[in-house]
Structure 1
Amino acid sequence: MTAPANAPAPTRPGDGVPDGPGPAPGSPRRERLRRALRWGILRAVALAVLLAAWQAVVAAEVWPRVLVPSPGEVWRQFVLTSGVHDGVRGYGGHLLVEHLGVSLGRIGTGSAYAVLVGVPLGLLIGTIRPLAVVLEPAVTFLRTLPPLAYLSLLVIWFGIDEAPKIWLLVIAALPPIAAATAAAVRTVPEQLVEAARALGSGPVALLLSVRLPAALPEILTGIRIAVGVAYTSVVAAETVNGVPGIGGMIRDAQRYNQTALVIAGILAIGLSGIVLDALLRLVERSAVPWRGRT
């Protein structure tokens, strides 16, 4: 029996008909890598343009070299302060990484104390109205004070050792955390609170099981901001007996018009701040994955 004339011809494997599903589109991981590569190239080009413009300004002698050193002079200070040269170890007997490490330790200690105090304080301000009336103006008052305004008072109270430096960083970092926590707690959807109350949750359970988890993304953002504030305050904190410390190193270099070393210290603070902020972003994405990527 012959097949109808219009019947399709039988096919065999390899005759152009796929045996299974077609190739899958690019994986999310591969797409993220491509995007990261594109942004990395863009940042590298922007950095190269910035360095070229900086070198052009120096070559044109727009300002004296003592005011605006070249990128090469700043790099030389990085090298000199990062090792031992002609019997001199770094700056003031400490390597650049040691100065930076001491300052990061102070920032970490001050920020940790600020978190331990600021988060509970913000929770109280956000949930108990009478406490908010009393404490919120105090938090705003501290938030508006520049660090140098109370550094002298802290030195009088605590001397010139570590205590005034840590206290200054705590006072600088605490208000953003408390303010962010209070604002986040106040914006928790009332439906969640009412549902928890209907299930029998008391005030403490509501605070710890409903309000705090719902406010966590904004609290973590406040902590990131507070760490940045501590970074901007570390130079002020280390103006008194700040060596070893990156702020103390910058302060000493400024006294002797070592502009290249001052810029090297500023760049060290900024680069370490970028790294730390990236780590905090990673912690934020891990702790609150429902918030999405930023």
Structure 2
Amino acid sequence: MHWSRCGGWWGLTAGGLVPALFLPPPDRVLARLAELSTSSFMDATIWQHAGASLARVAAALVTALLTALPLGVPIGLNRTARAALDPLIEFYRPVPPLAYLPLTVIWFGIGEASKVLLITDVVIAGILAIALIALVLELALRAIERRFAGWSR
């Protein structure tokens, strides 16, 4: 964190401009972090919670890659598939992931599956868009290369 921000944070809390209930002072936050790193909070340390979160993110990333890349290649290679599926993707992509939260919880409960699925929803549209763009650019560059291949001689 930038030192001026830390100084501003300390100044706001030390001067009493912001109540500690809304913005606790930095020394109290660091003391609580040290406490949580050794003792448990809801039956786990902060490092165990961080590990569980990273495992969810990794599982969601793998799921998104295994879903988006096989979908993106046919869409990028086939104009008919792109015409059929691109409007659905462009409809889905800008919807905020929190809009899916109630449906995800209703359909999958509050366990690990719903958490991983919600993170997958966040990641999949971006990966699919990147796969499509990369594939279309690759095909365009190959077409340009074929078109101008004889000019260098």
Question: Same fold, TM exceeding 0.5?
Answer: yes
**In structure 1, what is the equivalent of residue 135 of structure 2?**
185
Select the residue among 59, 65, 76 that pairs with 2:31.
76
Does the Cα contact within 8 Å between 1:142 and 1:171 map onto a contact in 2?
no
**In structure 1, what is the equivalent of residue 78 of structure 2?**
128
Counterpart code for 1:159: G
- C-alpha distance 124-193 of structure 1, shift in aligned 2 (>3 A): farther
* Higher RCO structure, 1 or 2 (CA under 8 Å, sep 6+): 2
Distance 2:75 2:89 in 1: 10
Distance 2:116 2:107 in 1: 13
Tell me which protein shows more helix as a share of its residues. 2
- The C-alpha deviation readout for 1:74-129, integer Å capped at 9, x for no partner, is 11121111113xxxxx2111100000100110010001110111112222222111
Is 1:149 aligned to 2:93, yes or no? no
**Secondary structure, counterpart of 2:42 in structure 1:** coil
In the TM superposition, what is the alpha-carbon distance from 1:70 to its structure 2 partner?
Answer: 0.9
**In structure 2, what is the equivalent of residue 175 of structure 1?**
125
Give the TM-score, by structure 1 length: 0.46
The structure number with the bigger radius of gyration is 1
CA RMSD of aligned residues (A): 1.8
How many residues get paired? Answer: 145
4+ runs of 1 displaced by more than 6 Å?
A: none
Is 1:106 aligned to 2:87, yes or no? no
In the TM superposition, what is the alpha-carbon distance from 1:139 to its structure 2 partner?
Answer: 1.7
**In structure 2, what is the equivalent of residue 61 of structure 1?**
16
- The C-alpha deviation readout for 1:160-179, integer Å capped at 9, x for no partner, is 22111111111111000011
In the TM superposition, what is the alpha-carbon distance from 1:145 to its structure 2 partner?
Answer: 1.6
Give the TM-score, by structure 2 length: 0.86
**In structure 2, what is the equivalent of residue 118 of structure 1?**
68
Consecutive unaligned residues in structure 1, runs of 5 or more: 1-45, 85-89, 196-294
**In structure 2, what is the equivalent of residue 47 of structure 1?**
2
- The C-alpha deviation readout for 1:138-158, integer Å capped at 9, x for no partner, is 222222122221111122212
**In structure 1, what is the equivalent of residue 151 of structure 2?**
none
- The C-alpha deviation readout for 1:20-63, integer Å capped at 9, x for no partner, is xxxxxxxxxxxxxxxxxxxxxxxxxx722221121111122221
**In structure 2, what is the equivalent of residue 158 of structure 1?**
108
